[in-house]
């Protein structure tokens, strides 16, 4: 039987394949991904694919179809079941798999789902995903055959490996964990039983309807339950995860939030003690404070493009032992595999906090204080968004402004900086503004608004309260 399949083009994203279940994403798409990606692996001389899935209600049926498609391309499929995305990455690395696919909607709404892929333990993204879509549409796949499938419980081995790099010599901690009903629930339950100190797990049950709150720890309202529990418990810190546990959120002993760039400061100081002069990578949305603190700690700060696949590729290129994003993706290549694993990042943080002379809040409050906006996302037509960035960049460069065009435009001024970039996954522009004073922040907002107006775009709502960083 001839195989061809056309994906809804909105599903083929920059970093993964993702859509709304029943509208732009269906089980037929899952089968096609398995059939086509399996063909890519086969033509590269491979045969073994590891497949896992998250706790979303649609994930089991998508996983079933995905496995069937991979087997039809002759793959030997290892099914690791429901768990966090980094557990799939771990399984792929440890087993030296030829390919790996995770069924996950990450932090997106409950009716969304998608697929993250690895080819020979390297991120499969960008042009790779577009090529997969073209192969499916043209029927460019290997001849149908029958592969094999077996199930494996990788969780005990994953937990063992997570714990291996923790020295355990610090003081016992009181920690609150918020699984957010995400895919890491079973792993967290196994993990905390083996950690010293007291551990209270919120929303441990895996439930794809996310009854407690949305599983995105970068949004302050989603951390309120955790903050309340930390304060009520007198805990040393609280840790939250997104739906597939590749992103972390942290609150200190007072309930104060450590945003992604602040967390990276804490982790970088520790890593740089063992790797003086090493490169530490952060995405272009991070605070200038982060880059300054990496430099002050003896590291080489490197600003890079937003996107977990892009960061991982840059880490491999530069040999950086650590990287992170404002979104809470933390990547350790120091003692770890270089992929984003929020559970591993949490354990490394616990180790650091257990050796602090004071509370974690002292570290947060000692950081230079700036004033910044949240990440502002506002609609811009797909066909127009990249043109707007190009127009703004051209005007700024002509004016002699200090501009970085690594990913969008980041403009540095004596008052601070502002960023404008096009989302790689949605028809939106993204802006962020940071300054040392409220007056400076207002001047930078006005500059950004002027540039947007000159390109015929309405400025985002700046009335949202600015936050310290």
Q: Residue 203: left if φ>0, alpha if ψ -120 to 50, beta else—which one?
A: left
Kindly state the tokens that stand for 360.
Answer: 């974690």
Cβ–Cβ < 8 Å for 344, 316: no
3-class secondary structure, 399: helix
Cβ–Cβ < 8 Å for 350, 343: no
Among 206, 186, 185, 184, CA closest to 85: 184
| Strand 376-379, strand 428-435: pairing | antiparallel
3-class secondary structure, 432: strand
Which are the contacts of 45, defined by CB distance < 8 A and separation ≥ 6?
Answer: 98
Helix (H) and strand (E) counts for the chain? Answer: 14, 23
| Number of Cα atoms under 13 Å in the Cβ half of residue 192 | 20
Catalytically annotated residue among 106, 287, 309, 354: 106
Among 255, 39, 212, CA closest to 110: 212
Radius of gyration of the chain (CA): 22
The helix-helix angle for 127-138 and 27-43 (nearest 10°) equals 100
CA distance from start to end of the chain: 58
106 part of the active site: yes
Kindly state the tokens that stand for 353.
Answer: 């906090």
Kindly state the tokens that stand for 311.
Answer: 């960061």
Q: Residue 210: left if φ>0, alpha if ψ -120 to 50, beta else—which one?
A: left
| Torsion 203-205-210-215 (CA) sign | positive
Q: Which residues are annotated as catalytic?
A: 106
């Amino acid at each position: 039987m001839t195989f061809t399949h056309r994906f809804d083009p909105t599903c083929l994203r920059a970093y993964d394949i993702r859509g709304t279940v029943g509208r732009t994403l269906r089980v037929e798409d899952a089968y096609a991904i398995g059939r086509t990606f399996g063909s890519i692996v086969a033509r590269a001389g491979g045969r073994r694919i590891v497949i896992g899935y998250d706790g979303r209600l649609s994930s089991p049926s998508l996983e079933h179809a995905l496995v069937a498609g991979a087997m039809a391309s002759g793959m030997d499929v290892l099914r690791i079941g429901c768990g966090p995305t980094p557990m799939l990455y771990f399984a792929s690395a440890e087993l030296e798999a030829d390919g790996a696919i995770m069924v996950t909607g990450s932090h997106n709404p409950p009716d969304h789902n998608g697929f993250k892929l690895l080819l020979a333990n390297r991120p499969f993204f960008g042009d790779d995903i577009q090529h997969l879509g073209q192969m499916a549409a043209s029927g460019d796949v290997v001849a149908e055959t029958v592969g094999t499938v077996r199930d494996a419980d990788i969780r005990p081995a994953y937990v063992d490996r997570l714990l291996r790099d923790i020295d355990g010599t610090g003081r016992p901690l009181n920690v609150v964990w918020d699984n957010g009903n995400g895919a890491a629930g079973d792993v967290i339950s196994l993990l905390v039983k083996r950690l010293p100190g007291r551990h209270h797990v919120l929303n441990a049950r895996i439930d794809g309807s996310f009854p407690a709150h949305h599983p995105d720890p970068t949004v302050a309202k989603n951390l309120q339950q955790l903050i309340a529990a930390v304060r009520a418990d007198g805990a040393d810190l609280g840790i939250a995860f997104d739906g597939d546990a590749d992103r972390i959120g942290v609150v200190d002993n007072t309930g104060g939030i450590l945003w992604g760039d602040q967390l990276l400061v804490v982790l970088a100081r520790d890593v740089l003690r063992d790797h003086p002069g090493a490169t530490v990578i952060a995405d272009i949305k991070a605070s200038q404070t982060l880059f300054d603190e990496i430099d002050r700690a003896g590291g080489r700060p490197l600003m890079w493009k937003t996107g977990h696949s892009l960061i991982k590729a840059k880490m491999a290129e530069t040999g950086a032992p650590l990287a992170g994003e404002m979104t809470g993706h933390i990547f350790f290549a120091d003692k770890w595999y270089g992929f984003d694993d929020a559970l591993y990042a949490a354990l490394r943080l616990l180790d650091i906090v257990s050796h602090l002379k004071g509370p974690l809040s002292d570290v947060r409050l000692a950081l230079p204080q700036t004033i910044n906006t949240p990440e502002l996302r506002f609609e811009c037509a797909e066909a127009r968004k990249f043109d707007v960035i190009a127009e703004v960049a051209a005007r700024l460069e002509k004016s002699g402004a200090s501009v970085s065009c690594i990913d969008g435009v980041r403009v540095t001024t004596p008052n601070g900086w502002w960023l404008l970039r096009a989302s790689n996954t949605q028809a939106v522009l993204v802006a962020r503004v940071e300054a040392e004073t409220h007056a400076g922040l207002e001047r930078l907002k006005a500059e950004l608004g002027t540039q947007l107006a000159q390109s015929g775009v309405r400025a985002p709502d700046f009335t949202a309260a600015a936050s310290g960083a």
